[in-house]
Amino acid sequence: MRRIKLYYLFFSSTLKVNVPFSVLGSILISKGDWNMFFEPFPYMLGGLGIVASLLYKEILEKEAYYFYYNSGIPKRNLIIFVFAAYWFILWIVKLCIICLK
């Protein structure tokens, strides 16, 4: 149960970079047109946002990986979990957007 909480902690720490980056990117791509805002948003959330948040963690919060490594979770597993969780969320958001249209 402790490992699941640690995976969730790492995932939630990537949200602080991913969500603002994805919203900003979607606004720039849609050029401020709110009708088109939600089309690129899932792709930004599941693509460039993940890369930006992992680069942020790799450059500015590199010592945080030691906490997870000491708990028995290697960096590779954390990155794979984040990609899997975001892609799962991507499909849920995409389905919600399709249903709302």
Q: What is the reported pLDDT for 92?
A: 85
Helices (H), 2-74: 2-30, 41-43, 49-60, 64-70
Whether the full predicted model's pTM is greater than 0.85, yes or no, is: no
Q: What is the reported pLDDT for 69?
A: 86
Residue 83 · residue 50 · CB < 8 Å:
yes
pLDDT tens across the length of the chain (101 residues): 888 999 999 998 888 888 888 888 888 888 877 777 777 777 787 788 888 888 888 898 888 888 888 888 998 999 899 989 988 888 887 788 788 87
Q: Give dist(CA 93, CA 26) in Å, integer.
A: 14
Q: Give dist(CA 8, CA 97) in Å, integer.
A: 25
Which tokens in the block code for residue 77? 């597993």
Q: What is the reported pLDDT for 7?
A: 92
